[in-house]
Amino acid sequence: MILHAFTDGASRGNPGESGIGIVIRTEQGDNLLAEGAYIGKTTNNVAEYKALLALLDRVREMPCSQLIVHSDSELMVRQLTGKYKIKSPNLKEYHRRATEKLAGMPFPVEIRHVLREENSEADRLANQGIDRRRNTD
């Protein structure tokens, strides 16, 4: 079964309060997972990588023959596909962790850049993660 995943990281400030959003769907569009979480204070780029890492942890045991990851982070997608170099030492560590997890997946993974409008549910979940944190302070 081919699964489609949508990830997003959000940061209010750069760095600032941050959250991640993850959505996993079947080819038919049925949601298998939709979650958002608060991840503390960090940059938007780190939040994007943390969303991808969380997704890879959750999807690993799902019945899947191929995973297609959709992200509106052009920077992260181009770094992971080798089109952009990573300048930030902090991002290099997240990139290393992501490429290791991607290489160890039991099925092929494709990462695609999508427009923000096509990633609205993951964006909403990432922002809800931040909002839940703010409402508990």
User: What is the predicted pLDDT for the residue at 101?
Assistant: 97
Give the separation between CA 25 and CA 27, rounded to whole angstroms: 7
Give the Cα-Cα-Cα angle 22, 38, 98 (nearest 5 degrees): 50
Give the separation between CA 59 and CA 37, rounded to whole angstroms: 16
The token pair that represents 20 in the structure block: 């991640």
The domain spans of the chain are 2-136
**Domain 2-136 classification at class level:** alpha beta
- Whether the Cβ atoms of residue 84 and residue 78 lie closer than 8 Å to each other: yes
pTM metric for this prediction: 0.94
Does the pLDDT value for residue 119 go beyond 60? yes
Q: pLDDT category, 126, cuts 50, 70, 90?
A: very high
> What are 67's strand-pairing partners?
3, 109
User: What is the predicted pLDDT for the residue at 135?
Assistant: 62
- Whether the Cβ atoms of residue 12 and residue 130 lie closer than 8 Å to each other: yes
pLDDT digits (tens, 9 = 90+) for 35-84: 999 999 999 999 999 999 999 999 988 999 999 999 999 999 999 999 99
Averaged pLDDT for residues 15-39 = 96
Q: In this predicted structure, which of 5-9, 16-20, 58-62, 68-72 has the lowest mean pLDDT?
A: 58-62
What percentage of residues in the chain have a pLDDT greater than 90? 91
